[in-house]
Amino acid sequence: MQQVAAGEIGGLETLYDRYHAAAYALALRITSETGMAEDVVQDAFLGLWRNAGRYAELKGSVRGWLLAIVRHRAIDTLRRRKTGMALGDDADAILPAALTIPDPWPEVAGRLEAEQVRRALTVLPPAQREVIELAYFDGLTQREIAARTNAPLGTVKSRMRLGLVALRAALGPSAERAAPGDAAAMRTARLAGGKGTL
Amino acid sequence: MALTCDRVRELAPGYVLGALEPAEMVAVRGHLDGCANAHQEVRELGGILPYLAIAPEPAEPPRWLRESVMAAAAADLALRRGSPRSLPLARPEPLPESTGPEPDHNVVSLADVRRARRRLPRLAWFTRVAAALAVLALAGYAVVVQADLNRAKEDQQHAQSIYNALGPGDARTISLTDEEGMGAGGLAVLRPNGHLIVSLNHLPSTHGNQIYTVWLTGGNGAQVKVGSFYVDGDGTGFLEVDNMPTSASLWISVNREPGPAVTKPTGPTILSGTISL
C-alpha cells in the first residue's frame, strides 16, 4: 500500500492481483451486470490508487477498504442509473461511510473463508437475511426495505439489528470456537435483540 | 439534527449498512465525530461489513480489465506528474446525495481524471501500438538497410573480383545468352590458371529445392559442375571457383535444377555461352 501511495504502478498491480476477484464478485453481486461491474472495479481501484495516501488515516484492512469502495461505487452507480443521473465526476472521491468505521477484525476476516460467511448468512432467519442483503447488496434504506417487503419500518429495523448481531456472533471472535451459524450463537443473538421470532 | 447517544445506538445497524435516510446518516456521523463515548456498538456492527463483502459467489473479471485499470492509473499518474497542481482530497461526506464543497478549480478535478481515464487509456493504447509499430518499422528498416549494406559489400567484392580477374589481360570473358527470354543476363570470366568467375543477374527466384547450377562442358563432352546457388528476390547469382578446365573451347551453361544433388544438367538452361580462345 505504501508503494501505491508513492505512485508505483507495481504496488497497484500487486493489490489488483490479490483482490480483483473479490472486488469483481462484490460488484457483480450488486450490479448484476458484467459491464457495470467492470466499470465499478476499475473505478474502485482507481479510487484506491488516488486516495492511497489517506489509507494511513484509516484503520482496517486494505481489502476491507477496497471492498467498501467497490460497494459504495456499485450502489452509487445503481442509484444514479435508476434516477437517470449521470455518474458524478467526483463520485469516487467520496469515501464510503463504512470507511469511517474502524474494522476491528481485519485479521479474523482475512482468515475467514467466503464459504463460511455464506454459510453463516444462510442460517440466519430468512427475514433477517433479507433485510441485510437488501441494505448491503441493493443499497436500500430501511424505509425502502419496508416498502419493498411490506413490513413495518420498526420491524425492518429490528430485523436488521438482530441479523447483524447474529452474524457477528457467528463470525466474530467470541464465536470463533463455534462453527458459523452455531445454534447457540444464533440463540444468543436473538436474546440480545429481545425477540426470537423475527 | 442533534442526536443523543441512545438514539445513535438505535440507529447503529442502519448506519453501518448505510441504510438510514441521508439526513440521519449525516447526523450520526456528526455525533460520532464529536462524541466522547466510544460507541462500541457501531464498531462491533460495522465489523460485519468485511464479512458481507466476501460473501458473494466467486467471479473472475475479464483479463483485459487488469490492463485497463493499470492504464487508467498510469494516465492518472501522468496527469498528476504533468501538472504542478495537486489532486483534491476525498471529501468525508458519506453519501452521494450529500453536498460537498464547491469544486476548487485550482486542483485537478476528478472530471479531469475521469476524462483522462476515458481518453488517455485509449491514447495510451494507441501510443503503445504506434510505438510498437514504430519500433518494428525501425527494426525492419534497419534489417533492410543492413541487408542492403551487406549486399552492396558483396557486389563490391564481386566487382573487385571481376576487376582483378580482368586486370592481367589474359582472361577470357563472355556475356551469357538468355536462353528463355526472361531477361536474365550474366558474365563469365575464365583465367588461364583455371580461376572462373560467373556473375549473373535478373534470374527468376528459386523455390523449394530448386537451385541454379553452372556447368562447364569441354570439347570432349566432359561436364564439370562448377557450383550451385539459390536466388532470392534480387535475381543475382555469383560464383568464383578455381581449378576449372582451361581447354580452348568450353561451353558454359546455367541450368535451373530440381535439387542440389544432380550430377549432370537436367533442368532447363537459363543462360549459356561459349568460352573460347
Identify the domain containing residue B267 by its residue range. 172-276
Per-residue pLDDT tens digits for A32-58: 999 999 999 998 998 888 888 776 556
What are the structural domain ranges in chain A? 1-103, 112-198
pLDDT of residue A125: 94
Determine the distance in angstroms separating the CA of B158 from the nearest CA of chain A, rounded to an integer. Answer: 56
pLDDT of residue A171: 79
Using a CB–CB cutoff of 8 Å, tell me whether B69 touches chain A.
yes
pLDDT of residue A57: 56
Using a CB–CB cutoff of 8 Å, tell me whether B36 touches chain A.
no
pLDDT of residue B13: 94
pLDDT of residue A173: 57
Q: What average pLDDT does chain A have?
A: 75
ipTM at complex level: 0.75
Which site among B24, B48, B70, B77 would you substitute to test the A interface, given the most A Cβ atoms closer than 10 Å to its Cβ? B48
Which residue among B9, B37, B55 closes a domain? B55
Q: Which three cell numbers stand for residue B169?
A: 589481360
If contacts are CB pairs under 8 Å, which of residues 70-99 in chain A contact chain B? 70-72, 75-76, 79-80, 88-98
Q: DSSP readout, A48-111?
A: HHHHHHHHTTS-S-HHHHHHHHHHHHHHHHHHHHHHTPPPPTTGGGSPPGGGGS--S-HHHHHH
Name the residue facing A42 among B20, B72, B87 (closest C-beta): B72
Name the residue facing B57 among A25, A139, A171 (closest C-beta): A25
Total beta-carbon pairs less than 8 A apart between chain A and chain B:
228
Contact A68 B53 (CB under 8 A): yes
- Structural domain count, chain B: 2
Q: Which three cell numbers stand for residue B259?
A: 535439387
pLDDT of residue A188: 32
Per-residue pLDDT tens digits for A86-123: 555 444 444 444 444 444 444 444 456 778 888 888 88
pLDDT of residue B220: 77
Name the residue facing B48 among A76, A96, A168 (closest C-beta): A168
Per-residue pLDDT tens digits for A131-177: 999 999 999 999 999 999 999 999 999 999 999 999 888 876 533 33
Q: What is the pTM of this model?
A: 0.52
Contact B73 A64 (CB under 8 A): no
Tell whether the model's pLDDT for residue A2 goes beyond 60.
Answer: yes
10-residue mean pLDDT profile of chain B (277 residues): values are 88 92 90 87 84 88 90 82 47 36 40 50 60 72 70 74 76 85 87 89 88 87 87 86 84 90 87 84
Determine the distance in angstroms separating the CA of A116 from the nearest CA of chain B, rounded to an integer. Answer: 8
pLDDT of residue A184: 34
If contacts are CB pairs under 8 Å, which of residues 136-195 in chain B contact chain A? none
Contact A100 B94 (CB under 8 A): yes
Name the residue facing B19 among A24, A141, A168 (closest C-beta): A141
Contact B14 A12 (CB under 8 A): no
Which residue among B39, B55, B71 closes a domain? B55
pLDDT of residue A58: 60
Determine the distance in angstroms separating the CA of B108 from the nearest CA of chain A, rounded to an integer. Answer: 11
Between residues A111 and A180, which one has the greater pLDDT?
A111
Using a CB–CB cutoff of 8 Å, tell me whether B43 touches chain A.
yes
CA dihedral sign of residues A35, A40, A43, A49: negative
Query: CB B62: neighbour CB atoms within 10 A?
Result: 11
pLDDT of residue A111: 53
pLDDT of residue A112: 61
Which residue among B10, B25, B55 closes a domain? B55
- In three-state secondary structure terms, B275 is strand
Which amino acid is present at A188?
Answer: T
- Read off the CATH number of the domain in which B252 is found: 2.60.40
Contact B17 A135 (CB under 8 A): yes
How is domain A112-198 classified at the CATH fold level? Answer: Arc Repressor Mutant, subunit A (1.10.10)
Residue B47 counted as domain residue? yes
Which residue is associated with the grid cell 483534491?
B88
Contact B58 A25 (CB under 8 A): yes
pLDDT of residue B255: 93
Contact A91 B96 (CB under 8 A): yes
- Range name among A2-6, A117-121, A126-130 with the lowest pLDDT average: A2-6
- Range name among A73-82, A126-135, B53-62 with the lowest pLDDT average: A73-82
**H or E stretch at B202:** none
**Statement: A1-103 belongs to CATH 1.10.1740.10:** yes
**H or E stretch at B42:** helix B40-46
pLDDT of residue A136: 93
What separation in angstroms does the CA of B46 have from each of A169, B42, B247? 13, 6, 106
List of chain A residues whose C-beta atoms are within 8 Å of the C-beta of residue B19? 135, 140-142, 145, 160
Contact B73 A45 (CB under 8 A): yes
